[in-house]
Each structure stands twice: as structure tokens, then as C-alpha cells.
Structure 1
Amino acid sequence: MITSITTLPPEECHPVPDAGLGALATERGNLPLESVDVTAAVSGLSAGVEVVQGFRNPHDVALEATYVFPLPDRAAVTAFRMEADGRVIEGVLKERGQARADYDQAISQGKRAAIAEEDRPDVFTMRVGNIVPGERVTVHLTLNQPLPYEDGAATFRFPLVVAPRYIPGTPLDGDRAGDGWASDTDAVPDASRVTPPVLLPGFPNPVRLSLAVSVDPAGLELREARSSLHVVQEEGTVIRLQPGERLDRDFILRLAFDASTSLALAPDGDDEGEGTFTLTVVPEPAPAGAGAKDVVLVLDRSGSMTGWKMVAARRAAARIVDTLTSGDRFAVLSFDTVVEYPEGLGEGLSEASDRNRYRAVEHLARLEARGGTEMLSPLERAAALLADSAGDRVLVLVTDGQVGNEDQILERTGAALAGVRVHTVGIDRAVNAGFLGRLAGLGGGRCELVESEDRLDEAMEHIHRRIGAPLVTDLSLKADGLDLVTETVSHVGSIYSGVPLTVLGRYRGAAAGALTVRGLGADGSPWERRVTASVVDNPAVRAIWARARLRALEDRYAAGDRSLEAEIVETSLRYGVLCRFTAFVAIDTQVVAEGGPGHRVIQPVELPSGWESPVAAAPMMLTSMAFGNAAPSPPPPMGPPGMAPPGAAPKFAASPAVGGISQEAAAGGFDDRARMLPRPVPAGAPPRGGAPQARPQDPPREQLAEELKRLRAAASLPAAERLRLLEDLGSRLAALAVYLGGHAELAALARELQAGGDVDTLWRRAEEVLESLAGSAKRRPFWKR
């Protein structure tokens, strides 16, 4: 049947001023989130922050509002409270499953409740339930964060929007983990939790934003303060956003002052006789010249890189190629759903001659954004290219990092990249900083974030120095009069030009003593610095250490070591810092909504600044404009053939209509724009030297099972080839043993395989050890408990 649709005359259609396509206005508004207020106090190289989110129910039934939002990836969330109707309810940190059960029970009983959960190091979910009609509820989050310091400047970065992420993999059956637009997949099993719906361009300012930062140099000379992208106004020592700014980009404040070498001790202030230390060592300027190196450059040219990001990425990649010398070797990989190489250079490492560098730059200049962000394959290929390198091995990734399968990337590439210095260049105004920072931390590399083309030149100056060799390697710590808790000490790493070394950890006993840092200089000569301790009264030091410790444990969990869950939960609860296995929950005692909420709304988020409209180059489909209590059903794939990998989840398919906003399904040119990483060395486990060692942990069984599978597949090869494979396996297991804090059985096998001998005996020995360590029992994923 064909139904004729008559066009309404203009006098019967009164458009809403400034409303975007698909916007729905009512007399009482249409979105639950009214305001976000951020108040930060910077003191030296740390900041204390309070985030206040204001929710209002514009409907005539009780409401549950969900808001997916970002926080700085290194921030420690230490307190949570809810305020409504003159009542203040303090949040309690609990194991995540218990917190959810308590929240769900309170909601079903008609009580006000709120819960805050971490889904990624920089992505969190807030749920506020049983907001009665017309009521306003505010939730307060308290956090502490360290400020990265490089090349004479500290950076306070506060993210304001969760950018859409590319979701690879095959959709899973069963219950969804969340209510986002993406289906959960085998590669991203919690995709529906990190993909909130996106507001259409042109929608009037839906959220009132205020942000103020007070700056106390804490005895250091502040030379300059600069803010990027946002319009700010200064009032003495306070820097504020001008009214009217949107939640569509990161806020960045750079503070230029001279840091100094120091050892700060912060006692806990109780009778336990323990405390936290922060060691900072500022390096001398780098000497001229650098040794030969092998460099693999991996460039993201996927759809989310459209516009200024692609221009900046091409420039950044070309600048890196131009810095190489004739003694270096290099390769360039560009990727979306496929991986491509410069014509004439092939897929291996090439000599960095003038001709080859010209070919690479010419290839880079022709790249345009397209397709999906299939990042795993190019990283695996890059690791394979560097596997046989005997010299300095460097991988540089240029991307916005907007992927959802961080855990998968971590598990699949961790061992292969363990001996490679990975540097990341994140280009976006809402960059996935947590992912890129953790990836760079794998081999002591650096992460540079570029939020505009204006920042590119400055950022690339930093990256060029980092691609060179470290100033000091093989670092270790020696305590003098200070009793360190060795398993709590963070990875010592290496020292690079312009980047202070920072080591965190716990101590027992008196707050006095000194630490000596020892290592080898670039020329192989001994290097040493002794730093005397001073006592500070700063509770943020403990929280920042605890957050770093939890991140290291969570990365190892993501890499396959499932035995760490109990330790992660215990650490989180003991030190009162939120992590992925715990949650803050606040529950009122009053019953205000019999029968629970009548509406459940997920707050749409802004399209990040600089991202092109999803409807600019493609047709659009609109879903029904209605609220619903049921979770949205997985949307159908959209877009022209070839844009998505076979079996992949839709990247920006029909989002559920939420909060009165009809979300779009983009095709064609918006491919992946709306849609956890090689392991860092664990606390106290440097590659060589005498630094404190972490206690041995169980190995990642999935990784060992893959090694065993690979070994058995090669059993029919000639003896010489099998011996070479065993030697390679030994090198990977040696790196894994170091990462695990000294796994005796793996370390012993690694030594045997690298020493050589009878190939059949070694082959049987390797199979036996790998088989005994590769078993695994599965538990329900923590995000679904």
C-alpha cells in the first residue's frame, strides 16, 4: 500500500530557534543533565578537582538518568555524594557487583540513589535514579590528578566529552552490558556502555558548563599560562571559561615553570606508620647526536580522522620521517580497515635514504580519511617488523585513539611490543588519552597530545627528541634510611630529554631518608643522583599513587592475568580510590517514588569539536522520537558496502531516541566517527638493575595458549628453523617474566631456550611448561556482574 503524505503549509510549522535536526522541545525541556561545574585547584604538579553534575526531571513521572562522561585518565576519584531536596547523602565505595545490587534494590524500593562506575581509565558512567517530577539532584565527585610535566611546562587537561569510538568485532548474543548505540562484540564486550548517543549538530546548548582553575605554583616560578581552544578569562590566580562554551572538547591549560628534583614524603596521618613517596628527577639537556635505530611509523587514516586531524596527522608523520638519518631503517604503515605501504618501499624495513624518505612522504601526502579504525592488525605487523631488530627499536603511532577494543589490543600485542619503545601522537580535541598514554607506557615511550594545528609544531619538537635514545637507561633505586614497600614502587623506566622521571611508592616507618637513582648514560658510563627527602602535608599524593597502582594492576588483568581481581578490589577499597572493579553508590533512606522510575533516559553527548557532521556526506535515518524503559535493540548496519569489516558491529547505526533527541544513523563518509594496550612493566620491575621487584604474578594464560598453539603449528619445520623459533620464544618469555615481576618458571624456560641445545629436548620442555601454565577458568565479566 502507498500512502500519500501532504506537505504542511509554513504557517502550521513553527521551527524552534537554533534547534538541530531531530530536536524535540517541550515546555519543560527535554534533557535530564542541566549543568556541569568543574572547580580545580592546581598546586605545583598536582591538582584537586571537584565535578558537580546537575540533573533535573522535566517529566511527570520519576526519572532515572544515565550520563556517560570523561575524566582525566590518571585522576583518582576519592569521594562521591548526592544532594536533593535539602538532603546530603554520602557515597560509599563498594565492590562493583555489590554496589549495583544495592543501587538496583534502592531504585525498586522507590528511594533516591546514584552510582558512579568506571568503564575505561577515562570513561565513567553516572546513574541517578528516582528523580521525582520537577526535582533537581546534584552529584559531586572529588578527584586528584598529577600534571604531566615536559619541556618546562605542566599540563592540566580536563576532558569534557566521550568521543564516538570505532567498535570492531562480531556482535554478541545475550543481554547487553549497557544502553549505548553500539552492540557488544567479541572484541569489545562492553561496547554498549561506552557509546552514548550523540546530539545532532546545531542543537541549542543543552548543558550549562562552568570551569574554573586556581593556580598555585607552590614555590615554583610561574612564567606563563596558556589555554587552548576554549575562551578563558583571568581573575588574579583564577582562570575561568567564558559563559556559553560547550561540552565538545578537552580543556587544556599549560603552565610554564621550572620543575626541580625532589623526594616528597606524605605520611598517612594515622598510627600505621606508613606513607607515600613521590620522587622527581629533572634530567640535564640531551647531548648532541644519536645512534642508529629502526623506526616503524603507523598512521591512522580512518574516517574519524577527517578534516584538520588528517592534515595534522600527515604533517606529523612527514616530520617524523624527515628526522631520520641514513643510518636508520624505517617502515610506514597507514591503516583504516586495510593496511597500506608506500609504493616502492615494500612491507619491510627500508634504509632511510633520501630517495626512500621522499617516497614515504609522497605516500603520506596523498592519504585521505576513510573506513574503520582496525588498529590491531597494523600494530601486530609493526611489532613483527621490529621483532628481529638488534638495535634501538621504535614504534610511533599517530591516531586519535578512538577505538573500543583497548583490552583486545593489550592482550594481543603486549608481549610482542614489550621490548619496543612505543611513542604515541594523539590528534583530536577529545582524544582517547587514557588509551594512548597506557600504550606509550609499555616500553617507556612518550605520549604527545595535539588538540589543534597550532599545537602541532610544538608537539613534534618534543616527539623528535623522544624518538632518539634515552639519556639514562637501566635505572634502579637504592634507599638510604627509608624503608620502601618494594611491591608498591612504580616502574622506574628510563630518562628522556625534557621529561622528568617520576617514581611513586609506599614506605614504612619514619618519614626521613634519601633515595639514590642509578643507571647507565647514553655512552655506557655510570650515572647516579641522590635525592634527600622532605615531608609534605598533601593527602593527594596517596590517592595519586593508588590510582597509578590500580591502573598497572588493571592493565595486567586486561592482558590475561585474571588472578589479580581480588588484589585490585582490596587496593581500591583500602585506599578509597575508584577503579573498574568498584563503584561509588549513594542511597537515600526516604521513599520518594512508589514503583520506581517511569522513564529511563541516557543523556546524549556533544559531537566533538572538529568532527564533521554525520549527515554531511551521507543519507540519514531517524528512529522514533520516544522515551522507552527497555534497552535499545542493536541497530542494523548502515553505510555503503566495504566500509565495515565482515561481521563488524555497526559504527554509527540507528541510535535509540533518547531524551527527546532522535539520533541519526550515518552512512558513507561518516564510517567510524560515531561509533587497553600493550602491557607496561609492572610496579618495581625494571628490565635490569637493582630496583625493587614486584611479587611474582600468574602469567596471562590466553597469551601462553597462543604461544603454545604457534609452537605446535611449527613442529614439522627443519631443526635449524625450530631452534631459531625457540630462541625467539625465549626472548618473549623473558620479557613476560620481567613484566610479571619475576616469574621463576617462565624466566628459567626463557634462559634455556635462549642458551640453545638439543632442539627436540628444548621443544618438549617448552610445550610442557606452556601447557601447564595455559589453563584458564572463565568468570562472568566484571562489567556485567
Structure 2
Amino acid sequence: MVNCCGLITANKDPVPLKSIEVELEVRDHVATVVSTLNYENKEDKPLEAVFVFPLPGDAAVCHFSAQIGQTQIVAEVKEKQKAREEYDDALSSGQQAFLLEESEQSPDIFSLSVGSLPPGESASIRLDYVTELAVQADDGLRFCLPAVLNPRYQPLGSGGSGGVQVTSVPASLVPYSLSFSARVSSPRPISKVESSCSLDPLQYLNSEQTQATIKLAAGHKFDRDVELLIYYKDAHQPTAVVEAGQASAELGSLMGDPVVMVSLYPEFPQSVMSSVASCGEFVFLLDRSGSMDCPINNSKQQETRISSARDTLLLLLKSLPMGCYFNIYSFGSSYEHIFPKSVEYSQQTMEEALKKVGEMGANLGGTEILSPLQHIYSQSCIPSQPRQLFVFTDGEVGNTKQVLDLVKKNSGSHRCFSFGIGEGSSSALINGLAKEGGGHAQFITGTDRMQPKVMQSLRFALQPAVVDISVTWDLPKGVSVTVLSPPITALFQGQRSLIYAQLTGQSPKAAEGCVTVKYSLAGHPSQNQLRFSLKPAEDTGSTVHRLGARTLIRSLEMEERERRGQPDGGLKEKVVQLSVQSGVSSSFTAFIAVNKADGEAIQGPLVRRNIPIAWMGVPPMKGGRRSCVLDL
């Protein structure tokens, strides 16, 4: 069980993290986030501070630097073991060092080690990342800055937590403050910006209302997620952004060539959409681990995650088409099912299921999600009833990559729709389940937007599966394309699909390119096409390149895991090379910064301090245990 007593120094002083400043820049549907963490060592001994924190699972960390007094150190990306050795060597020789690394278990958890901070010294650490913004059911783009860290459950027999131990405290006692501001720009007018937190009024920067700024109202306690919902007019227009390569990078390399990001919103023929399927096998998998008894968020309404998950599932059950098949599994340290195998949906079976779901509580122990998934995949599919898997969880698992690998392995037999329940649910797990399972992800953090999200996922599940998807490019002579994104495996009406591609060669001025997505839907061949200018956009920096690199890195990492124990063709080396070249984090690399200006060794032992983070209180587990790897 995680120790829920706050960490204090021997003198009962606050821990050394003093404040967090976050600046968000949103360009259309891509966000750049600059976070500054300010530390101060008030102890009389040199200090090593460790802070574990989450980022969006698909974020690309692309800058890490530290300011100590007048000295600034910019970190480099290096192979992870080399970075750790360099960090340890620096500390042993009395130098200040900073190490930022991704968890080996889940790509949305990072640990930051602030090493050898002398007594009375302050340090300011800057971390930049870029990420895509997910489209909500009401067409809003969602940005979330997580604040609530929930303990990750490590499955029994997995050989330890595989991460840094961190002490947690009640959210009300977090001793550091947050300032947050955002700038939004888009080719289309900005309709509004909403938040679960109090905001100052939206300030438009031009008459076209295509640029605006927003910030948190004064007095915000960083005790709950900061969620922004951004709405544009004509949000479903397909777009393409070409970003120029870096002048300092080698031509022909990923960072030296232009990269295009294509955003497609497929429009299906109305004749096909009018014949939406009323069949399918719907398998629901409900998390009943002890953590699901926690509040869904940190508001005064003490609704629990399990009650929200039950409400979401009950709404889905009442909305299924007659004649389909369904079953409901629930899991914790063990798993249960309502029916031995999927049954036909009727008034009688629905009422039986509704009654049993209404009685379900968060009383099954830990979060062992692999076993029920393996059992579900072992069941034979019902002919002419395509399987649709719906997963409801707060995402507190420590073996995220293992779970996603299993879902991808079985993606040919089903589609997976995931629901992250409550603030702090793992974006890497929830988004990854949907991505690898060809489905759609939703986050339920309150009751206000639950119904449209649930019904959107059900509409997607009832759409016929799109097959024979292909992407073709028509580019000027002398320009070739290398697609960085994995093949598209799922298309839904109104859901965005992003494609990143490297463009090699010289194109004439005013040249155009064209990308065409062809597919078959319910036996009807169809296509969507987008023409775009090859002229690079202005002022995009390297955002598109880094997101493209991150996409390719994730694909290579998964392929390396699939081939583990077999010749992998140097996949790990390719990931390390791409990570170092692009400056984007990976599971095989880390950011390392060493202040070599300090020549004098620090006297005395180095005291390790784990920085406490907000924790919403998890009841003791039955039949399981808790690790101390934490997430927001």
C-alpha cells in the first residue's frame, strides 16, 4: 500500500518543488506545452530530488534544460543506460546532474531526478513536449494537464514495480503552486474555450477571432486535472500542414526533409450510412478494482469511479439493438462474467444484466486486466456478429505495454472501444487500447458530457467495419514520400485520422500534392481525397517533425517488443538513432544534463527526497498489492 503520509524534511519544511508554470500553445489541433518546475533545497545537506509525473501517452518530449543561478544547461538525448551511468558519475564527482526518463512499463510516465542540489540552492527546470489534441463527441478538442496522481497497480508475479518509488499526499496538501496560460490559433475562428476549472475570460487577439489567449483564474489549487475544450467553426474540414526541414540537419534525413501532417475526416456515402448494422457481439469489460471506489474527480460531488462506470455501462446496455449478442465481464485480482458465453440481447437478458451491473462494486482487489482479455480472446467469434469490446477502467495498471501488445495481436477479430473513468486515468492505456484495437477512446471525468460520448462510441461500433484501407500519394516529379505513421486500420464517420509523411526531393514553387484514402464499406468501394500546397507553413517550428518522429518511434518500439527473443533487424538501434536525431524521447533513451562548471566535490552524503504528488486516496486492496509508480 502506498504511504499516504506526506513527506517532510527533518525540520518539517516543505519538499523542494516550489512551483510549476505551464504555457500552452495550441495551433489548430496540435499543442506545444512548456512546463517550468522550480526547486529549492532548504535543507542543510546536498539533495537528490525525484519527481514522477505523467504526460499524454502520445506526447513527444523534445526539450529539457535546467537553470542553476546564472548557469543554463541544455540536456541531450542519449541511450538510456549511458545516460544513467553519466548521471551517476556526475553525482559521485560532486557535479550537478539532471536525468529525465520514460517508464519502461508505460509511455505516459516520466521520472525526473534532480541530483546533487547543494544546501540553499535553487534550480529551474524546463520541459517541453508536443501532442495531438483528441476530438470529442461534440467536436471540441480536448487538452488535459493531469494533476491527480493515482498509484499504478503492478500485477502479481511481475517482478517488481519497475519504477521510482514516490510518496503521495492528499491533494489538499500538495505544497507547490501552478500557473497556467494558453494561446490558441487556427485557420478557422475560435468559437469558445471551456474548462472544468475557473478561467479568466477568453481574450481574442484579432478581429477574425482566429487567435486568442486564456488562463486559469487566480487562486487555482493544483488538486484536479486542468481540462480545456477548444471549439472551432467548421472543425471537420480536412487539412494538411507541410513543415520545412531544419537547415542544420542533413538533407534526406527525417529532420532535414519537409514533413507533412494530413488530418482527414472521412465522409461516408449516405446510402451506406442509412443501413447501419444492427448486429454484433458486444463484450463489456468493467474494472472493479479497489481504486474504482475513489472519487471520479476532486469536486465537491463525491461520485465514485465505479458508479460512473456503472452508469456508462447501463446507458450502453439500454441502447443496444435487439437481436445482437452481448456479455459482461468484470475484473480486479480475478475476473467474473454474467453469462458463460455471449447471449442474444432481449428484454429478458437485458433486465438480468441491468440488475447484476447495478449490484457491482469496487471489491475485486487489484487491476489484473490481462487475464480477462486473454479469456475473451480465447472465445470463438459468433458468425456474422462482429465482436466489439468495450473497456471501462481508471487505467491504473503498471503493465500498459503488455496489455496493448495483446490487444494489437487480436485486433483482426474485434474492435476495442475504451473509456477512461475519472481524473488520472492513463491516457497511454485508454488511447492505446482504442488505437491498437481499431476503435475509439473516451474520457469520463464527470456526468456533464457522459451521454454524448457514450452514444458516439456506440454509433461507431454499429458502423460497418471499413476494410481494404489504402493511402496513395500523388506528388510532383522528383518528390518522393516516406510514410511515418502505421497503416490506418480503422475509419469512422466524423473521426479524425492523422497521417505523417516525410517528403524527399525538390518541388517547384506553387506545387501541389494529393493524398487519397481508398476503402470498402459494406461492400461499397469509396474514397476521400485532399489536395494541399507543398509550400511549408510559417512559424510551426519543429512540431510536425517531432510528432512524426514520435509516431515512428512508437511503431518501432512495438515491433521490437513483438520480436523480442528473435532477430529484430536492429530495431532498438534504429529507435535510439531516431530519438537522438530528432531530440524526441523514447523507451530506450533519456535526457541527461550535467553542470560541469562545478569543480568542487560536495561534502557529505547525498540525501534522496521523493517529491509527493496529489493523491485521491485508494482503499486497501483485497487479494493484490500496490506499487509506488504513480500517474496523474
Q: Shorter-chain TM-score: which interval?
A: 0.7 to 0.9
**Aligned residue for 2:183?**
214
Q: Which residue of 1 aligns with 2:149?
A: 162
What SS is found at the alignment partner of 2:490? coil
Asked if structure 2 preserves the Cα contact closer than 8 Å seen for 1:495 and 1:501, the reply is yes
Alpha-carbon shift at residue 158 of structure 1 (Å)? 2.0
- Residue of 503, 509, 520 corresponding to 2:505: 509
Over residues 189-218 of structure 1, what are the superposed CA-to-partner deviations in whole Å (9 max), with x where a residue is unaligned?
5x1515522114653x411111111111x2
Question: What's 2:198 paired with?
Answer: 231
Deviations 1:170-192 (A, max 9, x none): 2xxxxxxxxxxxxxx33xx5x15
1:261 aligned residue? 238
- Counterpart contact for 1:67–1:125, Cα < 8 Å: yes
Residue 453 of structure 1 and its aligned partner are, at CA, apart by: 2.2
In structure 1, the partner of 2:443 is 449
**Pairing partner for 2:101 from 112, 117, 121:** 117
The answer to whether structure 1 residue 96 and structure 2 residue 75 are counterparts is: no
Q: Distance in 1 between matches of 2:604 and 2:56?
A: 33
Shift of 1:38: 0.9
Retained in 2: the 8 A contact 1:94–1:584?
yes
- Once the two structures are TM-superposed, the CA of residue 425 in structure 1 deviates from its matched residue by 0.5
Distance (whole Å) between structure 1 residues aligned to residue 60 and residue 376 of structure 2: 33
Residue 59 of structure 1: how far off its partner (Å): 0.6
Counterpart in 1 of 2:573? 566
| Residue 369 (structure 1) aligned to one of 358, 362, 370 | 362
**Which residue identity is paired with 2:610?**
I
- Secondary structure of the equivalent of 2:379? helix
TM-aligned CA deviation for residue 63 of structure 1: 0.6
Normalising by structure 1, what TM-score? 0.70
Partner SS for 1:137: strand
CA contact (8 A) 2:6 2:612 kept: no
In 1, distance between residues paired with 2:466 and 2:411? 21
Corresponding residue for 1:631? Answer: none
Following superposition, the deviation at residue 45 of structure 1 comes to 0.8
2:375 pairs with 346, 371, 381, which one? 381
Is contact 1:113-1:588 (8 Å) kept? yes
| Unaligned residue ranges in structure 2 (runs of 5+) | 204-211, 296-303
Q: Distance in 1 between matches of 2:583 and 2:605?
A: 30
Whether 2:288 is the aligned partner of 1:301: answer yes
Q: 1:390 to 1:472 in 2, by over 3 A?
A: closer
- Are 2:432 and 1:438 aligned? yes
Match of 2:392 in 1: 398
Match of 1:591 in 2: 599
Unaligned runs of 5+ in 1: 1-19, 171-184, 619-638, 656-672, 676-785
Match of 1:547 in 2: 550
2:67 to 83, 87, 96: 83
Structure with the greater alpha carbon radius of gyration = 1
Tell me the CA shift for residue 323 of structure 1. 2.1
Alpha-carbon contact 1:71-1:160 (below 8 Å) kept: no
Structure 1 residues 69-125: Cα deviation after superposition (integer angstroms, max 9, x where no partner): 111222111111110121111111111111111111111111111111111321101
User: Deviation at 1:235?
Assistant: 5.2
Asked if 2 retains the 8 angstrom alpha-carbon contact of 1:465 and 1:497, the reply is no
The alignment partner of 1:362 has SS state of: helix
- Between Structure 1 and Structure 2, the one with more strand by share is 2
Note closer, same or farther for the CA distance 1:150–1:416 as it changes in structure 2 (3 Å cut): same
Per the TM alignment, residue 253 of structure 1 is displaced from its structure 2 partner at its CA by 0.6
SS at match of 1:232: coil
2:38 to 25, 34, 54: 54
Aligned partners of 1:555, 1:596: CA distance in 2, in Å? 44
Q: Give a deviation string over 1:133-163, Cα, whole Å, max 9, x none.
A: 1111011111111112244221112223432
Q: Structure 2 vs 1, CA of residues 58 and 592 (structure 1 numbering), >3 Å: closer, same or farther? A: farther
Q: Distance in 1 between matches of 2:154 and 2:441?
A: 23
* Structure 1 counterpart of 2:421: 427
Give the 3-state SS of the residue equivalent to 2:362 in structure 1.
Answer: coil
Equivalent in 157, 163, 168 of residue 193 of structure 1 = 163
Matches within 5 A, 1:330-349: 330-342=326-338, 346-349=339-342
Matching residue's letter, 1:51: S
Tell me whether 1:644 sits opposite 2:623 in the alignment: yes
Write the distance in 1 (CA, Å) between the matches of 2:604 and 2:545: 39
Maintained 8 Å contact 1:164/1:195: no
How has the CA–CA distance of structure 1 residues 332 and 164 changed in structure 2, closer, same or farther, with 3 Å as cutoff? same
Contact 1:107 1:597 in 2 (8 A): no
1:544-574 deviations in whole A, cap 9, x for unaligned? Answer: 1111111222223334446321111111112
- Counterpart among 573, 584, 588 of residue 581 in structure 1: 588
Aligned partner letter, 1:168: P
Q: CA deviation at 1:519?
A: 2.8
- Shift of the 488–413 alpha-carbon distance from structure 1 to 2, 3 Å rule, reads closer
Q: Which residue of 2 aligns with 1:280?
A: 263
Distance 1:433 1:580 in 2: 17
SS of residue matched to 2:572: helix
CA contact under 8 A between 2:266 and 2:528: conserved in structure 1? no
More displaced 10-residue stretch of structure 1: 287-296 or 309-318: 287-296
Q: Which has the higher helix share?
A: 1
| More divergent stretch after superposition (301-310 vs 283-292) | 283-292
1:369-399 Cα deviation digits (max 9, x unpaired): 1121111111112222354544422111011
Q: In structure 1, how many angstroms separate the alpha carbons of the residues matched to 2:449 and 2:462?
A: 21
* Distance in structure 2 (CA, Å) of the matches to 1:326 and 1:366: 24
Shift of 1:488: 2.6
| TM-score where L is the length of structure 2 | 0.86
Structure 1 residue aligned with 2:470, among 473, 476, 495? 476
Contact 2:35 2:127 in 1 (8 A): yes
Query: Would the aligned equivalents of 1:64 and 1:597 in 2 still touch at CA under 8 Å?
Result: no
Specify the alignment match of 2:23 in structure 1. Answer: 39
Instruction: Name the structure 2 match of 1:245.
Output: 220
Q: Please say if 1:556 is aligned against 2:556.
A: no
Instruction: Using the TM superposition, give the Cα deviation of residue 595 of structure 1 relative to its aligned residue in structure 2, in angstroms.
Output: 4.6
Aligned in 2, Cα 1:383/1:226: closer, same or farther, shift over 3 Å?
Answer: same
Task: Map Cα deviations across residues 296-318 of structure 1 (whole Å, 9 max, x no partner).
Answer: 11111111111521111001111
Relative to structure 1, the CA distance from residue 508 to residue 462 in structure 2 (aligned partners, 3 Å threshold; closer, same or farther) is same
Is the aligned partner of 1:526 residue 2:495? no
* Partners of 1:518 and 1:455 in 2: CA distance: 32
How many matched pairs?
581
Alpha-carbon distance in 2 for matches of 1:24, 1:318: 44
Partner of 1:768: none
Paired residue for 1:498?
494
Provide closer, same or farther for how the CA distance between residues 644 and 427 of structure 1 changes in structure 2, counting only shifts above 3 A. Answer: same
User: How far apart are the structure 2 equivalents of 1:375 and 1:471?
Assistant: 26
Task: Tell me the SS of whatever aligns to 2:23.
Answer: strand
What code does the residue aligned with 1:365 have?
A: G
Distance in 1 separating the partners of 2:380 and 2:482? 33
1:27: how far off? 6.1
- For the residue of structure 2 that corresponds to 1:448, the secondary structure is strand
SS of match in other structure, 1:101? helix
Conserved 8 A contact 1:519-1:527:
yes
For residue 233 of structure 1, report the CA deviation from its aligned partner: 1.9
Q: Which amino acid aligns with 1:223?
A: S
